[in-house]
Amino acid sequence: MKAETDWAELSAEANRDRRREKRITLVFQIEVSGFDRRGQFFSERTVTADVSESGCRFHLKAEVEHGAVVAIKLVSRNINRLQPERPFLFKVARVTAESTGWTLGAAKLQPESLWCIAFPPKKQQAPVA
């Protein structure tokens, strides 16, 4: 007996967002520092594409390896803003080549929040049957 493939169900599953938390499209000016793929120190100013409670996505010209640790610091024109003055450590979780550099996804390695905003509650995990 041959089971039929439910293409609609497979398509829905493939497109389902399985992230544990919501990403928010916010642009923060940041400075990213670390060591590139060749072991050379870099420091580059860029902006976030989106942020979550535990990470962020941004674009760099420097090529950084998956698994590398980078320091990210908020850069603000408003010095009265209550923001951390020190950089926070993030681990590079994803690297995607782009025509003008690299898009990186990074996960924070410290419990404090760099973003100074309140995030929506995390998604509840569905029980496994």
DSSP state, residue 9: H
pLDDT at 1 exceeding the cut of 70: no
Q: Is residue 52 part of a domain?
A: yes
Q: Is residue 15 part of a domain?
A: no
Q: What is the per-residue pLDDT for 119? A: 74
Distances, alpha carbon 116 to alpha carbons 44, 63, 74, 79, 90, in Å: 22, 28, 10, 14, 16
Q: How many domains does the chain have?
A: 1
Give the mean pLDDT of the chain: 84
Instruction: Tell me how far apart the 2 most distant CA atoms of the chain are, in Å.
Output: 70
Residue 57's CATH number: 2.40.10.220
% of the chain with per-residue pLDDT over 70: 73
Q: How would you classify the pairing of strands 29-35 and 55-60?
A: unpaired
pTM: 0.76
114 CB burial (10 A radius; 0-12, 13-18, 19+): buried
Q: Which domain holds residue 50?
A: 23-77+84-108
Q: Is residue 47 part of a domain?
A: yes
